[in-house]
Structure 1
Amino acid sequence: MPEGSLDTCCLLNLCAVGRVADWLPSLGWQWHVPEAVRGETLYLRTYGAEGEPVNQEVDLQPDLAEGVLVECALDPGEETARYVQLAGSLGDGEALALALAATRHWLLATDDRKARRLAGELGVPVITTPELARRWADNTGSTDVEIAAALCRVRDLVRFVPGEGFPLRDWRVRHLE
């Protein structure tokens, strides 16, 4: 099975949809969560009993225990050097996720514009939240209602709204209409 590295923004977006274990297996990759990403993924807005947004602690432990997510750390040497190089331009989670993807020849899941650009320069394949959502929808036969519900949760709870030119922006907008 191919492998991928999740950065903080994509992981939070997936958590907003619901249980990560319900989504990730359908995507066809083994997903790794760098230490810094896990450290940045602390809280998520969710819906309270009355439908109002409330903050909730993110608990990745069940997903790690099931093997849906695998925690990973940098190895000394090339990975650490690549991380130090990238940390000057990116946040810790993005730099670590990209350093691992670049040195281990993994896919990188990120929505960060600069991380996507740097990944392209390094020859690292990238997938974004809308592309993950589309792949999930295609692989699971999700209905338009299920797709819209997932995209609404990401929009409303994480406040992720892709701009012009973002991959699959039109697909996302069409499902939210």
Structure 2
Amino acid sequence: MNIKQSHIVLDTCCILNFYASGKFSGILEAIPAQVAVTEVVRSQELMTLQQLENQESEGTIYFDKVVKEGLISIVDFESEAEAETFINYTAQMKDEGESATFAIAFHREWAVATDDKRAISFLKKEAPHIQIVSTLEAIEHWSKKSNIDSATLKAALSAIRVRARYQPPRNHPLLSWWETAMK
């Protein structure tokens, strides 16, 4: 995985997938760029992580831990232009998390990690210069960089499929890699 920008902003879906894998820290450490999450996504994310764990605090504590360790930085709007773009994107997309992620990526020229088809289509139209990375690209990169054995990889992918309810689309370039790893 070659990230051309200095930073990559994670959308909610990728955070959930990485967290569900049980290998959240390792995946974040393997990403060859500074990983960021918008304040909008963070505030929504903590509730979703809590639901994943069926406990009120474990997901929140773990997310806070990776932030304190510097594996994820929390970013917010730094200019009126970013805030205005966020409002415009929200009006079009009807999703505040994706809109905040894309507005910041657009203005700072950072890469984005998302799996949402509608969001990807929107971003390609609005900002074709922004690199888009998928869950599978990040997981494949982590598995190669960290020399993950096949049993650990299969367990992580199975957890993503079950806990985060993620299934790669039929046209995903890494679908055959996923299928082979799941055997």
Is TM (by shorter chain) over 0.5?
A: yes
Question: Partner of 1:50 in structure 2?
Answer: none
Question: Partner of 1:141 in structure 2?
Answer: 147
Question: Partner of 1:79 in structure 2?
Answer: 82
Does the 8 A contact of 2:23 with 2:156 survive in 1? no
Does the 8 A contact of 1:32 with 1:69 survive in 2? yes
Does the 8 A contact of 1:23 with 1:136 survive in 2? yes
CA distance in 1, matches of 2:123, 2:25: 26
How much has 1:90 moved relative to structure 2?
Answer: 4.3
CA distance in 2, matches of 1:151, 1:120: 27
Runs of 4+ in 1 over 3 A off after TM superposition: 43-46
State the TM-score, normalized to the length of structure 2. 0.86
Question: Partner of 2:160 in structure 1?
Answer: 154
How much has 1:20 moved relative to structure 2?
Answer: 2.5
How much has 1:19 moved relative to structure 2?
Answer: 4.9
Does the 8 A contact of 2:115 with 2:134 survive in 1? yes
Question: Partner of 1:63 in structure 2?
Answer: 66
Mapped pair 1:32 → 2:36: yes
How much has 1:2 moved relative to structure 2?
Answer: 1.9
Identity of aligned residues (%): 26
CA distance in 2, matches of 1:9, 1:156: 14
What are the equivalent positions in structure 2 for 1:108-127 lying under 5 Å apart? 108-121=112-125, 122=127, 123-127=129-133
How much has 1:43 moved relative to structure 2?
Answer: 3.2
Secondary structure at 1:159 match in 2: coil
Q: Deviations over 1:81-102 (max 9, x none)?
A: 2111211214111111111111
CA distance in 2, matches of 1:172, 1:56: 30
Evaluate the alpha carbon distance shift between residue 158 and residue 151 of structure 1 in structure 2; reply closer, same or farther with a 3 A threshold. Answer: same
User: Can you give the 5+ residue segments of structure 2 that lack an aligned partner in the other structure?
Assistant: none
Question: Partner of 2:135 in structure 1?
Answer: 129
CA distance in 2, matches of 1:69, 1:132: 15
User: Can you give the 5+ residue segments of structure 1 that lack an aligned partner in the other structure?
Assistant: 47-53
How much has 1:27 moved relative to structure 2?
Answer: 1.5
CA distance in 1, matches of 2:175, 2:157: 11
Question: Partner of 1:43 in structure 2?
Answer: 48
State the TM-score, normalized to the length of structure 1. 0.89
Deviates more, 1:113-122 or 1:124-133: 113-122
Amino acid at match of 1:67: G
Secondary structure at 2:54 match in 1: strand
* C-alpha RMSD of matched pairs (Å): 1.7
CA distance in 2, matches of 1:134, 1:155: 15
